[in-house]
Amino acid sequence: MPGADQQTVERVLTRVDTDLDHARERLFELLRIPSISTEPDHKADMLRAAEWLQAQLRELGLTVSIIPTPGHPVVLGHHPGPAGGKAPKVLFYGHYDVQPADPLELWNSPPFEPQLVDGPRGKRIVARGAVDAKGQSMMFIEALRAWKTAGGGIPAPVIVLMEGEEEVGSPNLEPFLKAHRAELAADFALISDTNMWDIDTPALSTRLRGMCNCEVRLKGPRMDLHSGLFGGSALNPVNVLAKILGELHDKDGRIQVPGFYDDVRAVTPEQAREWEALGFDEAAFLKGVGLTTPGGEKGLPGLQRIWARPTADINGIWGGYSGPGSKTIIPSEAGAKVSFRLVPDQNPHAIFEGFQAFVRERLPAGMEVTFQGFGMAMGIEIDTNTPWAKAAKDALQQEYGRPAVMIGSGGTIPVVEQIKRVLGIDSLMMGFGLEDDQIHSPNEKYELTCFHKGTRSHALLLGKLAG
């Protein structure tokens, strides 16, 4: 790909710089819309956010539709790029929905009244959705704006897909991808919903863990029992469930679900050396959240445990009385939420079946068990030897003056696997978040320099794709 000429690129970058205050104000407009996808009371706000994005994209010359789904709508825009151009077609994916802001009392300012405040590394934007993912999504839109205004037009064919249900598990996205497969055809997908290594070091995320989310419930006696009259004879479902879940890991941190590691591949020596060179300080990482002792499998480096090894976690457990004072009962029921973060090749449905077998093997006779599965997603590994990945590496090197590092992610972004499976294209994950951005928490923030340099990086990437 020959790319755009340097003078044009410099004009575009200058436009990004001089328009930063206006770009921030546009982001603030979007942040003021409380587009909380999980709360029915905000249905009108969801539509308002979709209409705001539609207006912005139309202003840039895209043909834009708001397409209903059984849940919240998808905003879909197309731009053909320059006539006769040969640049690859980019499918940009983002989401305009956000998490609830609770607990409100922990915010330093109202969550949907964005603030520009001083931080240790310069100005930062504080609001719900600042980084996840309105701020990250708007960087690409602002890069398109700079090209349209100062670069003679958008230099590559572009599709923009903005979803409204990412924060509730994207229940309608895969059917949408299948129904619109033809009009979503592209060479690659670009996603900005991930992190940098640190504020000075850009990164491409090369792998994501998958997910198996589930619930287990035990039913013992027909009713709660007096622990004096029945204690020592009646089985206690809370005791039984706690014992079973306590056996999920052995003394070395390995997960005891049958067949759990059958499809787990060790990282290559080259990958291990690259991650080791990042100098990850696990003690400092844990200290930042008030911990000192690491978990996970013994004998493996921290980044491998976070990025390339599967996990099992109890996310919540309940049963019996938990109010003030005491109530001496043997509860009738107990339950727990359990999640497994999975690595590429592990099948979440097989893991769910294995977990059910694990529990049933340990269940005393006469006690009933039920299971419910929730979100299921495969882990994925991404090829970084593609022309667009090379263009992204070049863009990031140019903007930051240092090579981008190839990192993993312990999180799950189901759309990456869905785009690969349904549309047959790889994703490029070029994000600009930081680990202290407090996503999903009070006082979510986005460093202004990350927003600025992220916009410049997207503009540079578009220029390098041009041809």
Domain range list for the chain: 6-208+380-465, 210-264+310-377
Cis peptide before 186 (omega within 30 of 0): no
List pLDDT tens digits, range 386-438: 999 999 999 999 999 999 999 999 988 889 999 999 999 999 999 999 999 99
Q: What does the pLDDT average to over 187-212?
A: 96
The CATH number of 210-264+310-377, from 3.40.50.970, 3.20.20.140, 1.10.3210.10, 3.30.70.360, is 3.30.70.360
Q: Is 2 a residue whose pLDDT tops 70? A: no
- Give the pLDDT score at 169: 83
Q: Three-class SS of residue 280?
A: coil
**CATH class of the domain defined by 6-208+380-465:** alpha beta
pLDDT on residue 467: 66
- The mean per-residue pLDDT over the stretch 317-342 comes to 97
Q: pLDDT (tens digit, 9 = 90+) per residue, 55-113? A: 999 999 999 999 999 999 999 999 999 988 899 999 999 999 999 999 999 999 999 99
* pLDDT in the model for residue 289: 87
Q: Distances from the Cα of 64 to the Cαs of 30, 75, 79, 210, 213, in angstroms?
A: 17, 7, 9, 32, 35
Give the whole-number percent of the chain exceeding pLDDT 90.
Answer: 95
Average pLDDT over residues 115-121: 97
pLDDT at 277 over 70: yes
Where on the phi/psi map is residue 145: left (φ > 0), alpha (ψ -120 to 50), or beta?
alpha
Cα atoms in the Cβ-side hemisphere of radius 13 Å centred on 358: 23
In angstroms, rounded to a whole number, what is the distance separating the alpha carbons of residues 9 and 230? 78
Tokens for 281? 């300080």
- The per-residue pLDDT for 1 is 57
CA distance 439 to 170: 18
The mean pLDDT of the chain is: 96
pLDDT digits (tens, 9 = 90+) for 24-49: 999 999 999 999 999 999 999 999 99
Put simply, whether the predicted model's pTM sits higher than 0.75 gets the answer yes
CA nearest neighbour of 282 among 298, 274, 293: 293
Cα–Cα distance for residue pair 280/128, rounded to 1 Å? 29
